[in-house]
Structure 1
């Protein structure tokens, strides 16, 4: 290859790998398998070694992790969070062991740890209390996510035990258990959001959310595995792990102390299959020299420690035949392609189907009919096709994404900036109608007792219901109901009682139950509180909608689109006539005092002692007024952690007093 060609190849690899790094660390939406990424990184590193004159200073070989998001305060790490060298084969491990022996002799031990597939986190404790939590970021500095990390139940706020240093740092991995991931992803799909690919992405996305109350609803976990201090408290890594357990930290019970590389290889071999029995994902094993003195003697390279290495498992992968591609239509109209496969055993389970995500994925794979494909089940809960075996291709017929809905034949649409195609016939497409009614009766919505998903589907197929409103006419069809198979008089009576009882459910539950795209349970509560009744919400302007906390452009447009349709307004009228709650029951505030009379407040950020709703109630019960935005008329901005920078800037510019929650309390007490 000519020198120009080599430089072009190196530049292309840098550009591609930097994009993949950004997708992984910042967007938390990876577009390439770890193994493939590592191989490309190795190729680039080799070329840079051979042709240093063409090396790019922005090369990913010079970076440890990802970039810094702009949503959080940036904090410099006291001790850099370096990455570990990766390997996929035994010989590299033996070479590592040989290098260690040459440097420190034969008298040493290794600690073997599971390599968790999560988000690296550094926790600082002062006087036994959690002081700060910071993400890895680019290795030298990361994002302060303390408020969010405090919501994780397994991370102690206050340590117990003795001999706890005044200040130290402990590092670990934040992750999500697979069962929690599956449940939360189902809820995400319910409001029309694209599901996360795997638990690691969900954990990363959760840690970087702005509202810690929302973070608390997503059960995260954390294993700690590295202790840092200016004091020499421990002689070895193993000793430190046992000590921090006594202080209240969660350390993985599968960590093992071994005497040599052969025992480490046995540990690796065991977990290659045993990992699938864990409730969380691991993607490899980390091996560390145990003695701190020997670690110090071995030292570091520019990127990683010489006393540790990680062995990464290849994702479980098998070859099988694609039999056909089918399409599923969800409640929100999103059409998802599914690969139906010749059954094959993968990671201990029989796989018959694999996700294809969207039209772009089918195009990327260049799928043809009856292709032989490689299927992977690594961090993915649902198996996915990773590539086609072109040598075994038997058909010239490429698979083209459908243009019409497979259920109602309506022409599909694709909204700008979204990956999925949608069926716009939301009030005439059977799976969308059934899904909307099933959502309406659900526990988090109207919680109608005596009704289930199968019953709703049966009623639709029998033409007994065609929308949410028809549920409230079922009592008029009693004679038809008793003729249905498996429906006894008692079960029908219980069902009708449940439907009648749902008329007392609060407005926020009904609003969530309507199934407006992007309006989840939390958003429904905020809208119900902000607009009081459905009529105010229906006529709200775009600006009025986005003035509500956490309501952005996408949600506002979806709400306006919903209420612009005559059939939806007719449904609201039907529910009104049936006596359902279309208005928030506003509590009459009895003022505790008039300490804040004629004063106005904006609340922004996350608070340690009170929720935002509690602060709002406190202000109003003492005669104060809550405003939605910063203006010259504002009396005070009550500021918490992770407050929006635009609000802070505007308040400063207008010379508006900025106070803490403690100062707000003092304002009331002093008055």
Structure 2
């Protein structure tokens, strides 16, 4: 690269050029390091850097405080290494009022089979609004730090975590293996000071402390993280070589003894009333804590009970986040727009005069559906006193759980003269196909299917989402670009991108925002995802009512794509053995089953699925380690009242041993476990000659008596 010619620059021109270069390089760094979406090529970046250095050499007295030349270290070009969590890092379910908290407590007692008089304690602690982090210590030494990522796989940020003062580098008296989980955050004072420094230097400012903490921790250059005032609260753990304690409260105290910062507002509660009282106390202190919290987390205190309760697909059963009431603001609703989703749902969105709600600038809010706009619920009952929502209205906006902006109320005294009631469209705004609302459905849907560009694009976005194919470098923005240019119209096209365009690399690297390196990386990322687990493929198809948990459930039950595809195809008539077998999967209802068979029975959609599968190697679903299991591969049905464990526990135990749990008895049933009160299922099992055990017999069989 040739040396920049700056010989003709005057001092004023040099000063202005340094300002321009600092801004351009700061934007490039943010796009590359924080957003993982480079906006200029490596060569263009290098040219800007060289020009900046040349001007500084010629005019040293003009060097800026935020000079790009002062950045320390070389940034890795391939991003963070991935870390597979030994114990998944899950999110939390939410509670928004006292009734939700009571329901949470009741569900715990029901699952565990505890009576109303049995003691059940909980911890209550502030829910820090930051970034989750897992710290792994071996022999008392910090060896790895990882973000949560998708729960199963996170990013290796060990070098960055070592710069945080609250994180000990070595521990004394810790278990041989200890994974400490907690939250990285930034105090209000430090956040304001950081934004002031960024603004003075002409750099990026952050919308809130949480964004600042996340952006700081995820810097590829650890020296940048070192300059950011990050803090850390420990609140839990992952893999352990030995138990920290027998209770949540004592385990947190143990972490504090080991040298971790734990939240001083953590309390032990013996009842729901105690939990709510502490919630109110924390809520009253919220504005004066000096850091952001968005609720209170309740956890079952007894760790043995936590183990029995276990996990759902994305959340633990033994914990919940009680979120603070939504924060409110009034603003003008400028326009109502309709967005079309991947299932054809027409979703109304309020375009607002921007307003700050809970520290975030809000310019859009959901309006749910046409009933909500009209001032009624799905059953026709009045909401908001029957007040409808119209364009031009003065509306009250809130962020439910401090996350999703919604319109709560309308000030009729400020309604403009001549404001007309909103008429919900009966034609899709994207493809003009009829938009129908089926009986019992709150949503109106476009009937255009794949001819509707909005549905096609949203299906593609879903296909590449994190829980689906998660193709590095191919996100929503790139999907929209490629679809608009006619490069992709359906998922299979993604895997034909390079070959279909012959010189795909040449075409892509010449596009705005792409270079040879990023193009090569994309094509390699696509190739890497040709081999993919069955559960991800089912979820990626974007079939209505079939979410991530259901997709994994189907994958476990059928095992392979061939078995799954064959079964769903055979069930198309919604009768016969294949249909019955599908419905017999515990967790699959008629609505989900109908959506599945309908998708595979539609000629165009089935052809699209077949074209996709032809490009893939689909891995069979991972099966549990069932060596020595007496029920591996058997179909088990539970009926009646179980007295030594709840039905949910029994099902989870059976599945862990490799059994399939069905909700009904059929000729394919291998074993019926019948408790007191067993009725028609026990009678049918007897007629079919199916082996039947009582609860004690079941426990003896599986070795848990």
1:387 lines up with 2:409 in the alignment: yes
CA deviation after TM superposition for structure 1 residue 361, in Å: 0.9
Secondary structure, aligned partner of 1:280: strand
Alignment of 1:140-155 (within 5 A): 144-147=109-112
2:428 to 397, 405, 425: 405
Counterpart of 2:586 in structure 1 is 549
With structure 2 as the length reference, what TM-score do the two structures score? Answer: 0.50
What do residues 117-144 of structure 1 show as CA deviations (whole Å, max 9, x unaligned)? 573359xxxxxxxxxx952xxxxxx884
Counterpart of 2:538 in structure 1 is 511
CA deviation after TM superposition for structure 1 residue 463, in Å: 0.9
1:475 to 498, 508, 516: 498
With structure 1 as the length reference, what TM-score do the two structures score? Answer: 0.52
1:424 lines up with 2:447 in the alignment: yes
1:484 lines up with 2:511 in the alignment: yes
1:559 to 591, 596, 612: 596
Secondary structure, aligned partner of 1:616: coil
Counterpart of 2:259 in structure 1 is none
Counterpart of 1:119 in structure 2 is 100
Contact 1:335 1:422 (C-alpha < 8 Å) held by counterparts: yes
For the structure 1 residues 436 and 598, does the alpha-carbon distance in structure 2 shift closer, same or farther, using more than 3 Å as the test? closer
For the structure 1 residues 175 and 614, does the alpha-carbon distance in structure 2 shift closer, same or farther, using more than 3 Å as the test? farther
Contact 2:350 2:366 (C-alpha < 8 Å) held by counterparts: yes
For the structure 1 residues 354 and 654, does the alpha-carbon distance in structure 2 shift closer, same or farther, using more than 3 Å as the test? same
1:355 lines up with 2:366 in the alignment: yes
Structure 1: which 5+ runs fail to align?
Answer: 1-114, 123-132, 136-141, 150-165, 188-218, 224-242, 257-263, 283-311, 618-624
Counterpart of 2:471 in structure 1 is 448
For the structure 1 residues 517 and 430, does the alpha-carbon distance in structure 2 shift closer, same or farther, using more than 3 Å as the test? same
For the structure 1 residues 392 and 653, does the alpha-carbon distance in structure 2 shift closer, same or farther, using more than 3 Å as the test? same
Secondary structure, aligned partner of 2:436: coil
CA deviation after TM superposition for structure 1 residue 526, in Å: 2.6
Counterpart of 2:169 in structure 1 is none
Counterpart of 1:636 in structure 2 is 671
Query: How large is the Cα RMSD of the aligned pairs?
Result: 5.1
Contact 2:324 2:401 (C-alpha < 8 Å) held by counterparts: no
Structure 2: which 5+ runs fail to align?
Answer: 1-95, 133-147, 152-182, 184-234, 236-246, 254-261, 269-277, 297-322, 376-386, 640-646
2:483 to 439, 460, 482: 460
Counterpart of 2:164 in structure 1 is none
Secondary structure, aligned partner of 1:494: helix
For the structure 1 residues 408 and 271, does the alpha-carbon distance in structure 2 shift closer, same or farther, using more than 3 Å as the test? farther
Contact 1:118 1:174 (C-alpha < 8 Å) held by counterparts: no
For the structure 1 residues 177 and 337, does the alpha-carbon distance in structure 2 shift closer, same or farther, using more than 3 Å as the test? farther
Contact 1:120 1:174 (C-alpha < 8 Å) held by counterparts: no
Counterpart of 1:371 in structure 2 is 393
Contact 1:119 1:173 (C-alpha < 8 Å) held by counterparts: no
Contact 2:324 2:402 (C-alpha < 8 Å) held by counterparts: no
Alignment of 1:588-603 (within 5 A): 601-602=636-637
Q: Give the Cα separation in 2 of the matches to 1:573 and 1:633.
A: 30
CA deviation after TM superposition for structure 1 residue 251, in Å: 9.7
CA deviation after TM superposition for structure 1 residue 363, in Å: 0.1
1:435 lines up with 2:416 in the alignment: no
For the structure 1 residues 143 and 381, does the alpha-carbon distance in structure 2 shift closer, same or farther, using more than 3 Å as the test? same
Alignment of 1:61-210 (within 5 A): 119-121=100-102, 134-135=105-106, 144-147=109-112, 168-170=119-121
For the structure 1 residues 662 and 462, does the alpha-carbon distance in structure 2 shift closer, same or farther, using more than 3 Å as the test? farther
For the structure 1 residues 267 and 520, does the alpha-carbon distance in structure 2 shift closer, same or farther, using more than 3 Å as the test? closer
1:498 to 514, 522, 525: 525
Contact 1:440 1:513 (C-alpha < 8 Å) held by counterparts: yes
Bigger CA drift: 437-446 or 464-473? 437-446
What do residues 239-287 of structure 1 show as CA deviations (whole Å, max 9, x unaligned)? xxxx99559799981789xxxxxxx9x97995474599653347xxxxx
CA deviation after TM superposition for structure 1 residue 521, in Å: 2.1
Secondary structure, aligned partner of 2:336: strand
1:528 lines up with 2:509 in the alignment: no
Q: Give the Cα separation in 2 of the matches to 1:515 and 1:568.
A: 11
For the structure 1 residues 505 and 660, does the alpha-carbon distance in structure 2 shift closer, same or farther, using more than 3 Å as the test? farther
What do residues 537-588 of structure 1 show as CA deviations (whole Å, max 9, x unaligned)? 233243332122211111111112211221122223323433x235737989
Counterpart of 2:569 in structure 1 is 538
Contact 1:603 1:612 (C-alpha < 8 Å) held by counterparts: no
CA deviation after TM superposition for structure 1 residue 180, in Å: 11
For the structure 1 residues 403 and 632, does the alpha-carbon distance in structure 2 shift closer, same or farther, using more than 3 Å as the test? closer
Q: Give the Cα separation in 2 of the matches to 1:609 and 1:118.
A: 28
Counterpart of 2:617 in structure 1 is 581
Secondary structure, aligned partner of 1:527: helix
Contact 2:685 2:691 (C-alpha < 8 Å) held by counterparts: no
For the structure 1 residues 507 and 315, does the alpha-carbon distance in structure 2 shift closer, same or farther, using more than 3 Å as the test? closer
Contact 1:118 1:176 (C-alpha < 8 Å) held by counterparts: no
Give the count of matched residue pairs.
420
CA deviation after TM superposition for structure 1 residue 391, in Å: 1.9
Q: Give the Cα separation in 2 of the matches to 1:563 and 1:530.
A: 18
For the structure 1 residues 370 and 654, does the alpha-carbon distance in structure 2 shift closer, same or farther, using more than 3 Å as the test? same
CA deviation after TM superposition for structure 1 residue 652, in Å: 6.2
1:606 lines up with 2:628 in the alignment: no
For the structure 1 residues 117 and 272, does the alpha-carbon distance in structure 2 shift closer, same or farther, using more than 3 Å as the test? farther
Q: Give the Cα separation in 1 of the matches to 2:98 and 2:528.
A: 45
